[in-house]
Structure 1
Amino acid sequence: MNKVFKALADPTRRKILEILVNGDMTAGDIAKYFNISKPSISHHLSMLKNAELVLWEKDGQNIIYSLNTTAFQDIVRWSFNILNKEGERDERDKDK
């Protein structure tokens, strides 16, 4: 989970994820949305892959990137568990 939060901490990586919501893309397609170098885009994609937030598939000479929706489901589940524990603590505090 630490890799996920580290990856999400960067605004460029969050923007890449937002772009991939619209569909699968190559690094070159993603780079068109930014005013940074292609090696920088590759670095950000590598961080997202390492955190398992994006999936990739080789298609000839291209690599196609897509969102890993399972990872986002895990994040949501974790968040709800934290909120549920907080709610349970609040209820216990009311009973005191």
Structure 2
Amino acid sequence: MSATLVFKALSDPTRRSIIELLKKQDMTAGDIAEHFQMTKPSISHHLHTLQNAGLVLSERKGQHIIYSLNTTVFQDIVAWMLTVSGKEKEK
């Protein structure tokens, strides 16, 4: 997990909205795109950024690619933040 990639991915409001959608259910890129007024290639770019950060997983099912949240990375980030926070309190 690269914290830099995770925080960069989370810095964009569109990507945070995609995460909110995927929190409710796994979706295809087309399903996700229906919630935004932008091109499908733009949505694909956002999904690619989220995948590079490890926040989103993809699985091919037939002709479709299903996207889902990778909750393990979120747990790792929270644990890392708690560690950093604890070190600050020790000073």
Q: Report the TM-score, using the length of structure 2 for normalisation.
A: 0.95
**Higher RCO, 1 vs 2 (CA within 8 Å, ≥6 residues apart):** 2
Q: Give the counterpart of 2:19 among 17, 20, 44.
A: 17
Alignment of 1:77-96 (within 5 A): 77-89=79-91
- Deviation per CA, 1:57-85, whole angstroms, max 9, x where unpaired? 00001000000000000110011011111
The whole-number CA distance in structure 2 between the counterparts of 1:15 and 1:79 is: 22
**1:20 shift after superposition:** 0.4
Letter in 2 for 1:8: L
Alignment of 1:41-56 (within 5 A): 41-56=43-58
Instruction: Spell out structure 1 runs of 4+ moving beyond 6 A.
Output: none
Match for residue 39 of structure 2? 37
* Structure (1 or 2) with the larger CA radius of gyration: 1
**1:5 shift after superposition:** 1.0
**1:2 shift after superposition:** 1.1
Letter in 2 for 1:87: K
Segments of 5+ residues of structure 1 without an aligned counterpart are 90-96
Segments of 5+ residues of structure 2 without an aligned counterpart are none
